[in-house]
Amino acid sequence: MIRKHLRRIGATAGVIAALVSVSVSVAVAGANATGSQNEPSVPGTLRVFAGPYEQAQFCEGGPTPVISGTSGGALAASPTAFGKDAGKNRSYSALRATFEVGKPGEAPLITQTERIWPNGMVFNLALAAGELKPGDYRFRLRAIGNKASDWTSWCAFTVTQ
């Protein structure tokens, strides 16, 4: 039992280390005097999770992310760059993100707006088991504050049985 928890802690630490090592430059524009973000930048570090204890599968620089249609998964992105100052700017807590998910070359099957996680550092869209049938899909998103950012590029992923 203890080994199982240690593996989960180790996997979580691996995800955090990978995320911290990612060097993403996402500019923050339009901050007002109170520090709230009214013109959000395009989200970065798009990633796919095959389950709550699975490591992130990044959209850039690796194989196409895969999730199970019978288990579901999650799609995620960050409003800021990761690094030593990422958690210091709490002005992102009011942001939302609109996700679009669909098959390549087709109209989106899912268009959903989600609030940023309470930590102010992750946009997340949970995909329930059976929500997507096996096949190739893609997603993108944009941040929404007082204005909407541009859309991210598409992130392709595959849903298996």
Name the DSSP letter for residue 3.
Answer: H
Write out pLDDT tens, residues 84-132.
455 555 557 788 999 999 999 999 999 999 999 877 789 999 999 999 9
Write out pLDDT tens, residues 37-50.
456 889 999 999 99
**In the predicted model, what is the mean pLDDT of residues 56-79?**
94
Write out pLDDT tens, residues 13-30.
444 433 333 333 333 333
Nearest of 69, 93, 148 to residue 140 by alpha carbon: 148
Euclidean distance between CA atoms 41 and 50, whole angstroms: 27
**In the predicted model, what is the mean pLDDT of residues 62-72?**
94
Euclidean distance between CA atoms 133 and 130, whole angstroms: 6
pLDDT at 7: 45
